[in-house]
Amino acid sequence: IEPSAVPINAVPINSVPVNSSAPLVGLVMGSDSDFTVMSAAAQTLKDFGVAHEVQVVSAHRTPEKMLDYGRNAQARGLKVIIAGAGGAAHLPGMLAAMTTLPVVGVPVPLGLLDGLDSLLSIVQMPAGVPVATVSIGGAKNAALIAIKILATSDDALRVKLEDYSVALADLVEQKNRDLQE
């Protein structure tokens, strides 16, 4: 038996042109070193045709920029923020404290603690200041959460999510067929 080499999360979706140049999703990370993980979110947003921006905004190295980013995000037209950080990962929580927009946090795994440090830094928010935290390295799901939020008021995006779910189920069935060979 030779299972397909295609990973289950590599579902192809129809790419459609971005219909607006104004970013709806702010994809930020504490360091450019986080982009190896966060690029999966950028790719997914691109695949769904969602206008987004990508920025390095560090809670520790550029704290004033981080505060301004959170403060101005909604007025600039963003609808959701995805924030990834590793280690002492304060960026998602601090942005959540500075904006009424939903913030999705991505724990980025670093070398020593396999991302558990990042996860706990992001997920343990005090009541009143939520961060929707995905799994360690879960940048793709972070993008899908952002897309689902946007799809609540965007029928075209909702249809694309439905198509994506069908493609995901089809891929599982294809793998089952492969297992029979």
Q: Shortest Cβ contact with ligand RP5: which residue?
A: 30
How many chain residues touch ligand RP5 (CB under 6 A)? Answer: 12
Out of 20, 33, 36, 135, name the contact with ligand RP5 by CB under 6 A. Answer: 33
Per CB under 6 A, contacts with ligand RP5 among 111-150 are none
Binding segment for ligand RP5 (CB under 6 A), chosen from 18-26, 84-92, 140-148, 170-178, is 84-92
Give the 3-state secondary structure of 143-164.
HHHHHHHHHCCCHHHHHHHHHH
First to last CA, the chain: 6
Task: Rule CB under 6 A: choose which of 108, 122, 142, 147 binds ligand RP5.
Answer: 108
| Residue that the structure tokens 């979110």 belong to | 41
**Residue 47 near ligand RP5 by CB under 6 A:** no
- HSE-CB at 34 with a 13 A cutoff on CA atoms is 31
Q: At what angle are helices 139-151 and 155-180 packed, to 10 degrees?
A: 140
Which CB sits closer to ligand RP5, 24 or 95?
95
Quick one: 103 or 171, whose CB is closer to ligand RP5?
103
Binding-site residue set? 31, 34, 61
Binding-site residue set for substrate? 31, 34, 61
Q: What is the binding site for ligand RP5 (CB under 6 A)?
A: 29-31, 33-34, 58, 60, 85-87, 108, 110
